[in-house]
Amino acid sequence: MTLTFQTKAQGPKVAYLFPGQGAQAVGMGKELYDNSAAAREVFDKVDESLGRSLTKVLFEGPEDDLRQTINAQPGIMAVSLACVKAMEENLDLDEMPQPIVMAGHSLGEYTALAVSGVLDVADTTKLVQMRGQLMQDACDQNPGTMAAILGLDQMALEEVARETGVWVSNINTAEQIVISGDRMGIAQAMDLAAARGAKKVIALRVGGAFHSGLMEPARAGLVEAIESMDFHNPTVPIVANCTGDPLNTADSIKEELVAQVSGCVQWKRSVDYMMGTGVDSFIEIGPGRALSGMVKRINRRAVIANVADLESIMTLRRN
């Protein structure tokens, strides 16, 4: 049976946001699995598509296993999709907040593919699994790491990156920018950023230099995987990580997914675009609240809700 979503672009001015890797936590999604038939169907479909029990890792851990890219990425996607299906199951049509646009942070962009009807859940799961494996292979081939730089503006940090041979990989807010590169380059860039006025530099516990040139080995395999699947135009525009512009066609989405693996995630630009087109309410769907915090720092006028379990879904009804 093919799982589909009811999402259609319409008012009020709502945007769906889907989190990326790092939002994972042991036990995520279990309450949904136990209490929502629609959510359980998503988890079962993901397990079936992977040919293994990802849900066991999600619900029981151990944490080290869940942190692995090959588990974390499809796991976060599965929980986000289960949340959407539980929303559809528990909210009447007039209660269900429908987006006029959606966006996902890195991995979250793939979650948006299923919700907007670009791919079905099975193919989205397989593509996420393939992406995770390709990224891991690239990490093994080109070891690297990432660091968050707080309080140094984008132009100054881009100059630091040029001087140290690293990449600006995530522009999350004006005050929070992430860099990626080999370990020596990142260490030099952290020191230089601090010397030039950064308020804080934080080494991130990650498995590689994501969204940088060191991920280029993943590109060819990702192109092959994408071209093997049947993409459709989205029912709701997806705001692209790499440009902050809306994607309305299958071909433009394919191009974005390939560019995104080694390109910078322009999250601030994406949020600015959404608010500029009239979005005033954001719903972060899935584990964690990282995107909500970023949106609030980008624009304090934004109204934000989080959906990660049945209680938060019922809160949408009350609102």
The distance of Cα 29 from the centroid of its chain, to the nearest Å, equals 17
80 is catalytic: no
Helix (H) or strand (E) holding 132: helix 121-141
Could you tell me if 25 and 111 are in contact, meaning their C-beta atoms sit under 8 angstroms apart? no
- The helix or strand, by DSSP H or E, that contains position 104, with its residue range, turns out to be strand 101-104
Show Cβ contacts of residue 300 under 8 Å, excluding neighbours closer than 6 positions: none
Question: Has 252 been annotated as catalytic?
Answer: no
36, 80, 105, 211: the catalytic one is 211
Query: How many whole angstroms separate alpha carbon 171 and alpha carbon 56?
Result: 34
- The DSSP letter of residue 265 is B
> Any idea what DSSP says for residue 152?
-
Residue 283 DSSP symbol: E
Of residues 36, 49, 106, 169, which has the active-site annotation? 106
First to last CA, the chain: 33
> What are the b/e assignments for 212-247, b being 16+ CB within 10 Å?
bbbbebbeebbeebbeebebeebbbbbbbbbbbebb
Which phi and psi angles does 44 have, rounded to 5°?
A: -65, -40
* Distance from C-alpha of 14 to C-alpha of 104, rounded to nearest angstrom: 14
**C-alpha to C-alpha distance for 215 and 141, rounded to whole angstroms:** 9
> Which are the catalytic amino acids?
106, 211
